[in-house]
């Protein structure tokens, strides 16, 4: 059912006063580009919105789009053009929600836009006895257009909140116990390496990464908040990681002095913090084992329904930390032939095995989705271009060299094409997904069974 704001905007655009809209178009159309430049210059000065607009690609795209929007707003539109304009307002609202732009930034933007538009009208040569009608019409056009945008924006935000809760439930369950053990193992491995470093002066410091760069640390930073928003346990794990890294750095600084009492104190403190971290992980497991989980019924991977929620958060983290993430879109080559020749049960078996390969090829803090059919998508966080390329090639080779069992007698060899894109700072997560899809298309066009980076 169509919402009331769309109906009101359609009625307004269909019943414009010819003279008033003609005057608006005459005055504002030649000034549309200057108004757009003034709008974004003002918005970039506000901290609430500047982070969403400072990307070069965004800024370069938005000014022409705003110019076109102003010109359309004050034009006398045909019936088809009216429907196109309404659709555009809905798409803008969707984009605001995808970017997760703060509500205050939208209010500021509306105020800045109106000031610029009304200032232009008041400085024009429109006759005083006509000015009130023109200003009222312009005010109604702006308000009703933005009302349609905001209705879509709020609807999407509500859907996102529901998806975040559903994602939390689907991410928990019996596999949490297994995941906790893997995280503990990662933390203990790091701990053993640290003890070796502190005992052996010949080991180079750069051989040991920060605890934040272990599978344990990446999970806490990228999945912890997502799966357990507001959790005291996740906050405590973050605090413990900070303490562990601080003590470790202090210990390295006094390492040349040998095994002093201070060094022994630092080593014991690290041990205590690691023990505390594993206890917190255990607490998280105990809280979640009783909750029912449910993912893609075939592969047990995340459903693509949650892609938006996860990518929105990764974009936010990337923009705040300047650390990039990558999206890998993976498509199994000639998969339809396998279904046609061996049946869908065989195809399902292969998809389950592919899911296992993907999960063992990425880190605990990364995400793997069943994107649809024989397509899979992975999100690699805190990566460089070279590391993303390495992981993609590893996945491709793991698939190519795997013997896929479809029954006790039959094993198959299959290959996959992979498209990669690195987040370039654009606030709309749709961009990186589209870029990885373009790269995947190129991989298929080039002959399949290869990795292609979006350029």
Give 172-201 pLDDT, tens digit per residue: 444 566 677 778 888 888 888 887 777 765
- The pLDDT, as a whole number, for residue 174 is 41
The whole-angstrom separation of Cα 222 and Cα 220 is: 6
Fold of 302-453: Alpha-Beta Plaits (3.30.70)
C-alpha distances in Å from residue 229, one per residue of 220, 226, 276, 311:
12, 6, 21, 16
Bridge pairing between strands 302-303 and 367-372: parallel
Q: Report the percentage of the chain scoring pLDDT > 90.
A: 38
Q: Cβ distance 280 to 240 under 8 Å?
A: yes
- Spatial distance between the Cα atoms of 210 and 190, rounded to a whole number of angstroms: 9
pLDDT digits 0-9 by tens, 295-339: 677 888 887 777 888 898 888 888 888 889 999 999 999 999 998
**Residue environment code for 37-56, b if the CB has 16+ CB neighbours within 10 A, otherwise e:** ebbbebbeeeebbebbbebe
Give the confidence band of 155 by pLDDT, cuts at 50, 70, 90.
low
Count other C-beta atoms under 10 Å from residue 177's C-beta.
Answer: 13
Prediction pTM value: 0.59
Fold of 4-169: Globin-like (1.10.490)
Residues 310-326: b if buried by 16+ CB within 10 A, e if exposed: bbbbbbebbbeeeebbb
State the pLDDT at residue 439: 97
**Domain spans in the chain, listed from the N-terminal domain onward:** 4-169, 175-288, 302-453
Residues 349-375 pLDDT 10s: 999 999 999 998 998 788 999 998 899
For residues 336 and 350, the answer to whether their CB atoms sit within 8 Å is no
Judge contact between 320 and 370, C-beta under 8 A: no
Q: CA 16 to CA 12: how far, in whole Å?
A: 6
């Amino acid at each position: 059912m169509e919402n009331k704001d769309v109906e009101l905007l359609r009625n307004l655009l269909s019943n414009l006063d010819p003279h008033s809209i003609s005057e608006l178009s005459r005055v504002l159309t030649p000034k549309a580009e200057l108004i757009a430049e003034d709008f974004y210059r003002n918005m970039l000065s506000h901290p609430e919105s500047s982070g969403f607009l400072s990307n070069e690609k965004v800024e370069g795209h938005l000014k022409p789009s705003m110019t076109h929007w102003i010109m359309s707003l004050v034009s006398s539109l045909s019936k088809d053009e009216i429907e196109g304009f309404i659709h555009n307002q809905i798409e803008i609202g969707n984009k605001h929600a995808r970017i997760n732009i703060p509500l205050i930034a939208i209010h500021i933007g509306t105020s800045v836009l109106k000031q610029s538009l009304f200032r232009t009208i008041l400085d024009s040569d429109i006759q005083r006895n006509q000015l009130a009608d023109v200003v009222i019409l312009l005010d109604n056009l702006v308000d009703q257009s933005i009302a349609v945008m905001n209705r879509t924006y709020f609807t999407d935000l509500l859907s996102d909140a529901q998806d975040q809760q559903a994602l939390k439930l689907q991410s928990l369950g019996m596999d949490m116990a297994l995941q906790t053990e893997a995280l503990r193992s990662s933390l203990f491995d790091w701990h053993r390496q640290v003890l070796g470093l502190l005992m052996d002066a010949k080991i180079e410091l750069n051989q040991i990464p920060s605890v934040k760069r272990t599978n344990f640390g990446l999970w806490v930073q990228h999945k912890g908040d997502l799966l357990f928003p507001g959790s005291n346990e996740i906050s405590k794990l973050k605090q413990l990681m900070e303490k562990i890294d601080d003590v470790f750095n202090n210990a390295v600084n006094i390492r040349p002095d040998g095994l002093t009492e201070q060094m022994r104190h630092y080593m014991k403190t690290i041990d205590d913090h690691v023990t505390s971290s594993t206890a917190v992980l255990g607490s998280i497991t105990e809280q979640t084992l009783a909750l029912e989980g449910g993912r893609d019924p075939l592969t047990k991977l995340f459903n693509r329904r949650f892609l938006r929620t996860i990518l929105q958060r990764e974009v936010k983290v990337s923009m705040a930390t300047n650390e990039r993430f990558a999206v890998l879109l993976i498509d199994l080559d000639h998969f339809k032939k396998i279904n046609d020749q061996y049946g869908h049960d065989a195809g399902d078996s292969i998809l389950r095995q592919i899911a296992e390969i993907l999960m063992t090829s990425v880190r605990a803090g990364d995400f793997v989705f069943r994107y649809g059919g024989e397509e899979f998508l992975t999100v690699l966080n805190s990566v460089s271009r070279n590391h993303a390329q390495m992981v993609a090639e590893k996945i491709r080779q793991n698939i190519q060299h795997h013997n896929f069992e479809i029954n006790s007698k039959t094993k198959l060899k299959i290959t996959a094409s992979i498209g990669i894109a690195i987040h370039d700072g654009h606030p709309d997560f749709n961009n990186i997904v589209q870029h990885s899809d373009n790269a995947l298309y190129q991989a298929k066009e080039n002959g399949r069974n290869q990795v292609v980076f979006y350029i």
